[in-house]
Chain A
Amino acid sequence: MLEALRAVFAAPFLDMASSPTFLVEVLLGGIAAGLMYSLVALGFVLIFKASGVFNFAQGVMVLFSALTLVGLMERGLPVVVALVLTMAVMVVLAFAIERIVLRPLVNQEHIILFMATIGLNFFLEGFGEMLWGANVKRLDVGIPDTSFKVAGVLVNRLEMTAALTAAVLVAVLAVFFQKTRIGRALRAVADDHEAALSVGIPLKTIWVVVWSVAGLVAIVAGVMWGAKSGVQFSLSLIALKALPVLILGGFTSVPGAIAGGLIIGVGEKLGEVYWGPLVGGAIENWFAYVVALVFLLFRPQGLFGERIIERV
Chain B
Amino acid sequence: MSVVVRPDTASGPGRAAGTAAAPLLEVDNVSVRFGALMALNGVSLEIARGEILAIIGPNGAGKTTLLNVISGFYQPSEGRILFEGRDRTRLRPADVAALGIARTFQNVALFRGMSVLDNIMTGRLLKMKGSFLLEALYWGPAKRQELAHRAYVERIIDFLEIQAIRKTPAARLPYGQQKRVELARALAAEPTLLLLDEPMAGMNVEEKEDMCRFILDVNSEFGTTIALIEHDMGVVMDISDRVVVLDYGRKIAAGTPDMVRKDPAVLDAYLGVDHA
* Chain A residues packing against B (C-beta within 8 Å): 175-176, 179-182, 184-185, 187-188, 191-192, 194-203, 306
How close is A256's CB to chain B, nearest CB, in angstroms?
14
Q: Which residues of A lie under 8 Å from residue B185 when comparing CB positions?
A: 195, 199
Count residues of B near A (Cβ-Cβ below 8 Å): 35
By the criterion CB–CB under 8 Å, are A306 and B113 in contact? yes
How close is A108's CB to chain B, nearest CB, in angstroms?
16
Q: Which residues of B lie under 8 Å from residue A197 when comparing CB positions?
A: 73, 92-94, 97
How close is A194's CB to chain B, nearest CB, in angstroms?
5
Q: Which residues of B lie under 8 Å from residue A198 when comparing CB positions?
A: 71, 93, 97, 102-105, 109, 186
By the criterion CB–CB under 8 Å, are B125 and A179 in contact? no
In the complex, which of the residues B97, B98, B102, B125 contacts A185, with contact meaning CB atoms closer than 8 Å?
Answer: B125
- Tell me the nearest residue of chain A to B127, going by C-beta: A200
In the complex, which of the residues A194, A200, A306 contacts B125, with contact meaning CB atoms closer than 8 Å?
Answer: A200
Q: Which residues of B lie under 8 Å from residue A181 when comparing CB positions?
A: 125, 128-130, 132, 135
Q: Which residues of A lie under 8 Å from residue B118 when comparing CB positions?
A: 184
In the complex, which of the residues B93, B112, B132 contacts A192, with contact meaning CB atoms closer than 8 Å?
Answer: B112
By the criterion CB–CB under 8 Å, are B105 and A191 in contact? no
A197-B94, A198-B103 as given contacts; A187 in contact with B114, CB under 8 Å: yes
By the criterion CB–CB under 8 Å, are A179 and B136 in contact? yes
By the criterion CB–CB under 8 Å, are A199 and B128 in contact? no
By the criterion CB–CB under 8 Å, are B132 and A180 in contact? yes
Is B77 among interface residues, defined by CB-CB distance under 8 A?
A: no
By the criterion CB–CB under 8 Å, are B132 and A182 in contact? yes
- Tell me the nearest residue of chain B to A195, going by C-beta: B109
- Tell me the nearest residue of chain A to B137, going by C-beta: A179
Q: In the complex, what distance in Å separates the CA atom of A197 from the CA atom of B91?
A: 12
How close is A253's CB to chain B, nearest CB, in angstroms?
11
By the criterion CB–CB under 8 Å, are B110 and A195 in contact? yes
Is B123 among interface residues, defined by CB-CB distance under 8 A?
A: yes
Enumerate 26 A-B pairs (CB-CB under 8 Å) in ascending A order: A175-B136, A176-B136, A179-B135, A180-B135, A181-B128, A181-B129, A181-B130, A184-B121, A187-B113, A191-B111, A192-B111, A194-B105, A194-B109, A195-B111, A196-B122, A198-B97, A198-B105, A198-B109, A199-B102, A199-B122, A199-B185, A200-B98, A200-B126, A200-B189, A202-B92, A202-B94
